[in-house]
């Protein structure tokens, strides 16, 4: 069944990836702080998606609050440092049945490499930070997509063969997002557990990036075998 997928920060690299991969089956709303930037990105993604899939996709743009109000699934594709400023204005506006997804990685670059901000500074994980702004306390929040590179996601012609860790407290919501992950050919959802374990998925990104740099790899992903 088609569901409207809204992407907050949809003008960024990951936002394009989500839009391009799900536009074949679902209407997509691209959100931005700037409506004109959202419309421009949406038009460009739609042109590219139509050409690749050979069908007319439905990708439109709007402000972040407009997108939050009109989405069945809402992806928060924004940097960690902007969670509070962005979520305070939009998460109280989502519909009751809306599932919120966080791919947000709390990570910083230091002389040592990429480090995990919650461990280094005692700060909240992304999952905890987002949950604090939700009317249901984060029950409808699912953390996923931390270990797939935008470079791989943004071009549907690139073949994928990766696992995506999924954490959340509500079975209906995690099942729904696992279904959306499975719709993307070559991605397999791997449940890790409840939201309080989301830090394990979030920390996998600095792990991957450090391995990538030290071992001269290009945009690695994770696959459990």
Ligand X SMILES: NC(=O)c1ccc[n+]([C@@H]2O[C@H](COP(=O)([O-])OP(=O)(O)OC[C@H]3O[C@@H](n4cnc5c(N)ncnc54)[C@H](OP(=O)(O)O)[C@@H]3O)[C@@H](O)[C@H]2O)c1
- Kindly list the residues in this chain that would bind ligand X in the complex (CB under 6 A): 9, 11-15, 32-34, 37, 77-80, 82, 85-86, 103-105, 145-146, 149-150, 205
CB 31 to ligand X: min, Å: 7
Nearer to ligand X, 79 or 193 (CB): 79
Nearer to ligand X, 11 or 99 (CB): 11
Nearer to ligand X, 85 or 158 (CB): 85
Q: Which residue is nearest to ligand X (CB)?
A: 12
Query: Which of 136, 64, 95, 108 has its CA nearest to residue 202?
Result: 108
Cβ atoms of 5 and 71 closer than 8 Å? yes
CB 111 to ligand X: min, Å: 20
Query: Which of 99, 109, 127 has its CA nearest to residue 198?
Result: 127
Nearer to ligand X, 1 or 100 (CB): 100
CB 180 to ligand X: min, Å: 16
Would you tell me the crossing angle of helices 13-22 and 35-53 to the nearest 10 degrees?
A: 40
CB 54 to ligand X: min, Å: 27
Nearer to ligand X, 56 or 110 (CB): 110
d(C-alpha 124, C-alpha 199), whole Å: 9
Q: Which residues of 98-122 are buried (b: 16+ CB within 10 A; e: fewer)?
A: bbbbbbbbbbeeeeeebbbbbeeee
Nearer to ligand X, 86 or 125 (CB): 86
CB 86 to ligand X: min, Å: 5
Cβ atoms of 206 and 105 closer than 8 Å? yes
CB 182 to ligand X: min, Å: 18
Residue written as token pair 């391009």: 20
């Amino acid at each position: 069944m088609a569901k409207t997928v809204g992407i907050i920060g949809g003008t960024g690299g990951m936002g394009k990836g989500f839009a391009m991969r799900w536009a074949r089956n679902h209407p997509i709303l691209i959100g931005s702080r700037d409506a004109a930037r959202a419309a421009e990105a949406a038009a460009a993604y739609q042109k590219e998606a139509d050409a690749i899939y050979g069908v007319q996709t439905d990708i439109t743009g709007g402000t972040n609050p407009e997108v939050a109000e009109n989405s069945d699934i809402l992806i928060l594709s924004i940097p960690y440092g902007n969670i509070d400023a962005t979520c305070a204005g939009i998460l109280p506006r989502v519909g009751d049945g809306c599932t919120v997804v966080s791919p947000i990685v709390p990570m910083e670059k230091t002389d040592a490499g990429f480090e995990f901000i919650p461990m280094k500074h005692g700060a909240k994980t992304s999952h905890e930070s987002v949950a604090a702004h939700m009317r249901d306390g984060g029950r409808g929040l699912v953390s996923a997509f931390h270990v797939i590179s935008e470079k791989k996601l943004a071009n549907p012609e690139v073949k994928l063969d990766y696992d995506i860790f999924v954490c959340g407290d509500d079975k209906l919501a995690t099942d729904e997002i696992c279904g959306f992950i499975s719709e993307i050919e070559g991605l397999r959802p791997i449940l890790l557990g409840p939201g309080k374990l989301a830090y394990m998925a979030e920390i996998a990104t600095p792990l991957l990036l450090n391995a990538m740099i030290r071992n001269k790899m290009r945009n690695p992903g994770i696959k459990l075998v």
